[in-house]
Amino acid sequence: MTLGVFRDVRFCIDLVNMALVFLAMAAYTFIFPYYLQEARGIGAGAAGLIMACYPLVNSIVALFRGRCPIRWGAKSPRLWGRLSTPAVLPRAASSRSARPFRS
């Protein structure tokens, strides 16, 4: 690999973005189980099941995610993702499952 690739601004932005996403996911994976157990009072088994939701959904979505760019090109699925995420996140945050657990 030549070091000339670091002169491309888009490559450097993507590299920084990937590093930030990796750090965020690593922090989530490390801190969230403690939060569920200590702050929310959930048992270790239930916290593990909650933590297993992300990889489970990711593995199911990955089956379709690989076929979308082949079928529709890379631009269209990327646009759907960018439009659907801001539309879904407020609804998910206001849902009943996002509210604190009752003891």
For 28-71, the pLDDT digits (tens) are: 888 888 888 998 888 999 888 888 888 888 788 777 777 777 77
The mean pLDDT of the chain is: 78
Q: How many CB atoms lie within 10 A of CB 42?
A: 17
* pTM of model > 0.85: no
Percent of the chain with pLDDT over 90: 3
> What is residue 103's predicted lDDT score, i.e. its pLDDT?
46
Decide if 46 contacts 101 (C-beta within 8 A).
Answer: no
Which is it for the CA torsion 55, 57, 58, 60, positive or negative?
positive
Check pLDDT > 70 for residue 97: no
Helix (H) or strand (E) holding 99: none
> What is residue 62's predicted lDDT score, i.e. its pLDDT?
78
